[in-house]
Amino acid sequence: DIQMTQSPSSLSASVGDRVTITCRASQSVSSYLHWYQQKPGEAPKLLIFAASRLQSGVPSRFSGSGSGTDFSLTISSLQPEDFATYYCQQSYSNIFTFGPGTKVDIK
């Protein structure tokens, strides 16, 4: 199975900060890498698909980059509603795997 890791596991940031979360795959997943946001008590929400494509309705402050094994999710200016846990997921393999998550909370 392809293993996914994320760093950091958690971070504290202030409104307006630029935040970057990284995701690494144990082998190349090409661009089959997707990002989700999950708030407490809610289902995950797709933010970015195919590494860098912004899902419809998602604010442009979110962006994704990378290919192969190393990826990043950047929030250009953190807003109060962005405090959540973020997960990456690979679909290069038909055995889908998620990263362990990165919790973003208020400093």
Partner 1 sequence: QITLRESGPTLVKPTQTLTLTCTFSGFSLSTSGVGVGWIRQPPQKALEWLAVIYWDDDKRYRPSLKSRLTITKDTSKNQVVLTMTNMDPVDTATYYCARKWELGWFDPWGQGTLVTVSS
Give the binding site for partner 1 (CB under 8 A): 1, 32, 34, 36, 38, 43-46, 49-50, 55, 87, 89-92, 94-101
User: Shortest gap between Cβ of 15 and partner 1 (angstroms)?
Assistant: 25
Which CB, 17 or 92, lies closer to partner 1?
92
| Closer residue to partner 1 in complex, CB, 51/78 | 51
Q: Tokens at residue 37, please?
A: 């946001």
Tokens of 103: 């919790």
Alpha-carbon distance 38 to 28, whole Å? 25
Joined together, the tokens standing for residue 102 give 């990165």
Give the shortest CB-94-to-partner 1 separation in angstroms: 5
Q: Which of residues 3 and 77 has its CB atom nearest to partner 1 in the complex?
A: 3
Q: Which amino acid is at 68?
A: G
Helices (H) and strands (E) in the chain, counts: 0, 11
SS3 for 82?
Answer: helix
Residue 40 Cβ, how far from partner 1 at the closest point, in Å?
10
